[in-house]
Amino acid sequence: MEINVHELIIEKAHKHLLGGDFTAVELAEAVLKNAESKNKKMNAYLEFYDDVKDQAEEADQMFKKGTAGMLTGIPFAIKDCILVHGKTATASSKILEGYTATYDATAIKKLKKAGAVLLGRANMDEFAMGGSTENSSNGVTKNPHDLERVPGGSSGGSAAAVAMDGALAALGSDTGGSIRQPGSFCGVVGLKPTYGAVSRYGLMAMASSLDQIGPITKTVAGAEAVFDVISGHDKMDSTSVPEEVAEKCKKEKKKKYTIGVPADFVYAEGVDEDVIVNFKESLQYLKKLGHTIKEISLPNLKYSLAAYYVIMPAEASTNLARFDGVRFGLLEEGNNLLEDYEKTRGVGFGKEVRRRIMLGTYVLSSGYYDAYYNKAVAVRNVIQNDFKKAFKEADMIATPTSPVPAFKIGEKSGDPLSMYLADIFTVPANLAGVPAISVPSGTTVREGKKLPLGMQFFAPHFNEKMLFAIGKELEKK
């Protein structure tokens, strides 16, 4: 049978592979061919792996033996900050040019065991710092819906790879919206799991108390299939939550949910009119299906962005201290050790990374630690309590994923604050550690181009199944 890559989703591909309509090798070759042809314009991939056919042949063997699962033979794009043993991993930074991963991230190990086919590494904002994939040392990735616009970030390459039919699924990482916002901009599904649900072992750390690996797929069922494989306790990650603890948090599945809307936060000044119209239409659609829409209060959510932009740079500045030219990556030699550090980090890190390192170092410095960092941590605790109270009133919470549709390349790059404000709806989930999903909810037209919009749902800790249930219903819209 002829493979129509555009129409393929994980569930359909699995049925065809099971039925023998095509092999994993044929599927990998078809997707890879499409990815290579489109990547010249899109710049979603930084590299295609040279062992794709070998991986696909192993997947075909699993089908023959009867050991294949839902992800066997499914082609994946992998964000450039997730380690794949023996492959280059640079986090799109000059400072790690030529670095080869010495081990597999736990999420990668699980994908390999499931028989997934890893096509290559996807472009990203350098060290995951950005919301547009413009901060990559490898150039900007373009949005498949309009090549003049950004795909979102920092997992922009992963989202663009799926949206351009250059992969059926991708792994990204989400620190403040880096899976969900590009998912929304590119018209695909993005899931940020509960903090501790998916191992961070083998993920290059940006902000350790916020980072999570998660899937980007074409459908909610696809995201669920990937999550089921990559989640679970891992002794290699001290923040990974034991499964018995996660089980205790899970609530009974319902047919109809109460969906809370923090109206004063959602309908605030600065949110694009088309985004609000689409959000209200989506709520009405869910109401018609029998779900209850309830206005709720999250009074301190408005402080989440400010708290995030203190905590995240603080943790990032600490994590990035290891990139000094001594142990791995780039080395620019000076006359002494301090000059080695200064030259290596000055040349190796891009502008946005240097900005955040300086911010983080400042808020952690003597005399400012209490004024900034400790205060931000206190605000974070207050926001977590707001979510706890809100989940007593509502089963889940809904907001738009982004206050704006995809913006033009270069439009916000000269105004960092404007760029940071685009994270307003996504960062609360990372601060609270709760799971959140972005599901395509419609489109808006800009300069004759249809641009996707996304709707976001938050659920209590470890209740991803709730998000999948409501997401599947919204998809039918």
pLDDT digits 0-9 by tens, 23-46: 999 999 999 999 999 999 999 999
Q: What band does 319 get if pLDDT is binned at 50, 70 and 90? A: very high
Choose the catalytic residue: 92, 132, 136, 154. 154
In the residue annotation, 79 being an active-site residue is answered as yes
Q: What is the DSSP string of 162-178?
A: HHTTS-SEEEEEESSST
Q: What is the pLDDT of residue 415?
A: 83
Overall average pLDDT of the 432-439 stretch: 98
Compute the mean pLDDT over every residue in the chain, rounded to the nearest whole number. 96
What is the Cα–Cα distance from 191 to 426, expressed in whole angstroms?
11
Asked whether residue 78 carries a pLDDT value surpassing 90, the answer given is yes
Taking a C-beta distance cutoff of 8 angstroms, is the pair 153, 110 a contact?
no
Q: What is the pLDDT of residue 360?
A: 97
In the residue annotation, 173 being an active-site residue is answered as no
**pTM recorded for the entire structure:** 0.97
Q: What is the pLDDT of residue 99?
A: 93
Choose the catalytic residue: 158, 173, 178, 231. 178
Asked whether residue 326 carries a pLDDT value surpassing 90, the answer given is no
Q: What is the pLDDT of residue 180?
A: 98
Q: Domains in the chain and their CATH numbers?
A: 5-247 (3.90.1300.10)
In the residue annotation, 178 being an active-site residue is answered as yes
Structure tokens at 417: 């604050």
What is the Cα–Cα distance from 278 to 281, expressed in whole angstroms?
5
Q: What is the pLDDT of residue 417?
A: 82
Return phi, psi of residue 295, to 5°: -75, 130
Structure tokens at 349: 């890190």
Overall average pLDDT of the 306-315 stretch: 97
Overall average pLDDT of the 51-75 stretch: 98
